[in-house]
Amino acid sequence: MIEMQNVAFGYRGGGELLTDMSLQLPPGSFHFLTGPSGSGKTTFLRLCYADLLPTAGAMTVFEQPVTELDRDGIAALRRRIGVVHQDCQFLDHLPLAENVTLPMVISGKPVEIPALKELLGWVELIGHARAMPAALSGGERQRAALARAVIMSPEMVLADEPTGNLDWDMSMRLLQLLIELNRSGKTVLIATHDLNLIRAAKAQVAARVLRIQGKRLHLAGADL
Ligand SMILES: Nc1ncnc2c1ncn2[C@@H]1O[C@H](COP(=O)(O)OP(=O)(O)OP(=O)(O)O)[C@@H](O)[C@H]1O
């Protein structure tokens, strides 16, 4: 699903932030990505959904070499990936339901109310459909962001510190949703610094852990 061979990335004007990364993320797999603050986790996720392109090496997403895709190709690739951003990125003047359905509206797809209700029910936000983003708790925001990430039925879900500001119970609720998505066949990749979250997940799914250390990507051992 994602394959990297000796991939490197550096922001313009800086040196290499990530270097010599080789990796295979098979379809249906569940991975965590961890590493110190500033090590490049968000950057790595952005490479995965072709928001950034490698500065060296070979990388394919859904078997397509990302550096050879044109704008339409990249847009088509992104439609197959749902992203939960670190800061949720809601439009503050739109109620929750409109924020969740935004990807459908943008791509010109009709919003089917029963499907929307089912999705909001799944994330336990039916009663908050008309709430404005500012009136939501951290956990509600993250669940709404997850609903928005999966409304287009992506094959892969990437989440950037989805439990960053949540208490343990709320983190577990969100983790459960991500595990359910994986059990329904979706490939899941979660960036987190929370080792307890990783341990809790590993008790339930065959999750593997990638760690960024010293600009390189390592597959962590079974001890974590
Ligand atoms: N658009 C950008 N232009 C230049 N440098 C950037 C840009 N975005 C991030 N960086 C730098 O790249 C490095 C890695 O940032 P990134 O956000 O990927 O790390 P992270 O591991 O996700 O951090 P955190 O855990 O704190 O969210 C940081 O030093 C950051 O300042």
- Burial class of residue 39 (count of CB atoms within 10 Å of its CB; 0-12, 13-18, 19+): buried
Q: Please check the confidence at residue 224 and state whether its pLDDT lies above 70.
A: no
pLDDT of residue 222: 59
pLDDT tens string 27-63: 999 999 999 999 999 999 999 999 999 999 999 999 9
Does ipTM exceed 0.90? yes
85: confidence class by pLDDT, cuts 50, 70, 90 = very high
Residue of 37, 39, 163 to mutate, ligand 1, most atoms within 8 A of C-beta:
39
User: Widest CA span of the chain, in angstroms?
Assistant: 50
Task: Give the global pTM.
Answer: 0.94
Domain span holding position 60: 1-80+154-162+187-224
Within a domain: residue 141? no
182 lines ligand 1 (CB under 6 A): no
pLDDT of residue 88: 78
Cα separation, 212 vs 33, in Å, equals 8
Q: How far does the centroid of ligand 1 lie from the alpha carbon of residue 220, in Å?
A: 22
Within a domain: residue 173? no
pLDDT of residue 74: 95
Considering the chain, what is the average pLDDT of its residues?
A: 93
Cα separation, 70 vs 50, in Å, equals 11
Partners of 82 in the β-ladder: 157
119 Rama sector, left if φ>0, alpha if ψ -120 to 50, beta otherwise? alpha
CATH of the domain at 196: 3.40.50.300
Within a domain: residue 69? yes
121 lines ligand 1 (CB under 6 A): no
Amino acid sitting at position 209: V
Within a domain: residue 192? yes
Q: Where are any strands of DSSP class E within 30-133?
A: 30-34, 56-61, 64-65, 81-84
Q: In the chain, how many domains are there?
A: 1
Within a domain: residue 224? yes
Within a domain: residue 208? yes
Within a domain: residue 203? yes
Within a domain: residue 111? no
94 lines ligand 1 (CB under 6 A): no
The separation between CA 36 and the C-alpha centre of its own chain, rounded to angstroms, equals 18
Partners of 83 in the β-ladder: 158
Amino acid sitting at position 25: L
Q: Return the percentage of the chain with pLDDT > 70, whole number.
A: 98
Q: How far does the centroid of ligand 1 lie from the alpha carbon of residue 39, in Å?
A: 7
pLDDT of residue 223: 57
Residue of 34, 42, 45 to mutate, ligand 1, most atoms within 8 A of C-beta:
42
